[in-house]
Amino acid sequence: MGKIDYISDSDFNDKVLKSELPVLVDFFADWCAPCKMMEPWVEQVAEEFVGKLQVYKVNVDENPLAAASYQVMSIPTLLIFKNGAPATSIVGAVPYKTLVEKINSVLEEV
């Protein structure tokens, strides 16, 4: 079963940039309604892509440095990292199908 870990500014580099697997980072805030809309889809992706994709959540109110370093201006923003660099992003609430298509496009890149 896929699980989502919450990470902070202090462990962002180790968990995301040094990951062997591609990483989906969900930048969110507790007060953000669209973030709450995306939450079940992010959880479903974590389960669907076990062993292929690591999924983390970053609370932007508690961890402003990671969000600022990747110019996260609105939330939810989902960044997909591959080989230590952002490969693609999703800003705002999107359908589950769109989320999966973006993930698959990164996973299929050579």
- Catalytic site residue from 7, 24, 35, 58: 35
Catalytic residue among 16, 23, 32, 78: 32
Give the whole-angstrom CA distance, residue 27 versus residue 40: 14
53 catalytic per annotation: no
Q: Is residue 35 among the annotated active site residues?
A: yes
Nearest by Cα to 38 from 23, 24, 49: 24
Distance CA 36, CA 28 (A): 9
Q: Tell me which residues are annotated as active site.
A: 32, 35
